[in-house]
Amino acid sequence: MTDAREELRLRIRDEHPPLAAAAVIRGGPDSLALLQAHARRLNRLYKLDDAPVFGVSVFVVRDDLGPASERSILAAKLRSYPTVYRTTVGRLVAHGFDVLPTFTVPHFTVLIQSLDAVAELASAFGKRLINPYADGRGERL
Amino acid sequence: MTHIDIAADLNSEDETGLVWTFLDEATDPSIIKPGEFVVAGSPLTPAVCEVVDLVEKPAGTIVHLRVLPGTIEQFRRLLSRVGT
């Protein structure tokens, strides 16, 4: 039987890995059920090295200015999110997660071993923070 | 709670740089057409999005979405002002 999924490896960018201190940002709030749903969606469309893969999308800050800057990520990519999670590449790695540069800058995919790992992922993401650049921010204050 | 037309992770982009999800995650797939405005995301994180295109893939039909500026509340107020 043919696997209908596409190879995620072909969507990984060839670039230097981000520093451990690089900020990782994801719009929220999330719940464990939502994280699992998102990881399942990736699993449905992609495989990695011909094996099943689960993962969750994040953005990684690579520059001080431009599209991969923290401000641009918060004000453009995540403008619809009034709150975000902010952690670091090093913290995710310390929790056992791989962080792959996938698709277009500054998008990354955090790989999770199984759907049960979303609780650990949520722990690594930490607390939600206010997105100061979110749409309608003024009316929410 | 806000009604969601199509479930999506608005953090998830593919090679197009657009948000993607599966058409069969829409509550009513018939309204998911290029150029239409829909509410996408989750009940916790809804956003008004433009349907950019639909792409047939072996794993299912992919919907590409462009997140529009503004909150659901801002769109509600706009519709309230302009009437029907």
Q: What is the percentage of chain A residues whose pLDDT exceeds 90?
A: 92
Search chain A and give the residue with CA nearest B61. A45
Question: Whole-structure pTM over 0.80, yes or no?
Answer: yes
30-49 of B, contacting A, C-beta below 8 A: 41-42, 44-45, 47
Quick one: closest CA in B to A34, which residue? B42
Burial of A48 (0-12, 13-18, 19+ CB in 10 A): buried
Distance, in angstroms, between A140 CA and closest chain B CA? 11
Residue percentage of chain A with pLDDT more than 70: 96
Q: Does pLDDT of A14 surpass 50?
A: yes
Model confidence pLDDT, tens digit, residues B22-52: 999 999 999 999 999 999 999 999 999 999 9
Q: Is A58 on the interface with B (CB under 8 A)?
A: yes
Average pLDDT, integer, range A16-40: 97
Question: Which residues touch B62 (CB under 8 Å, ≥6 apart)?
Answer: A45, B14, B20, B21, B22, B23, B54, B55, B56
Partner-chain residue, chosen from A41, A103, A136, that has the shortest CB–CB distance to B9: A41
For the stretch A101-124, pLDDT in tens is 999 999 999 999 999 999 999 999
Count of beta carbons in the 10 Å neighbourhood of residue A84: 23
Residues B34-52 as b/e (b if ≥16 CB within 10 A, e otherwise) read eeeebbbbbeebbbbbbbb
A119 to chain B, any CB pair closer than 8 A? The answer is no
Interchain CB distance below 8 Å, A29 and B44: yes
Q: How far apart are the first and last CA of chain A?
A: 54
ipTM for the predicted complex comes to 0.93
Q: At what angle do helices A32-45 and A118-125 cross, to 10 degrees?
A: 120
pLDDT computed for residue A126 by the predictor: 94
Residue contacts between A and B (CB atoms, under 8 Å): 82
Rounded CA-CA distance A103/A93 in Å is 20
- Tens of pLDDT, residue by residue over A55-111, are 999 999 999 999 999 999 999 999 999 999 999 999 999 999 999 999 999 999 999
Contacts of A81 in chain B (CB under 8 A): 10, 45
By three-state DSSP, how is residue A96 classified?
Answer: coil
Residue ranges covered by each domain of chain B: 6-82
Q: What is the mean pLDDT of chain B?
A: 95
For the cut 60, the answer to whether the pLDDT of residue A140 exceeds it is no
Query: Could you tell me if A84 and B44 are in contact, meaning their C-beta atoms sit under 8 angstroms apart?
Result: no
The SS3 of residue A78 is coil
Separation of alpha carbons B52 and B35, rounded Å: 6
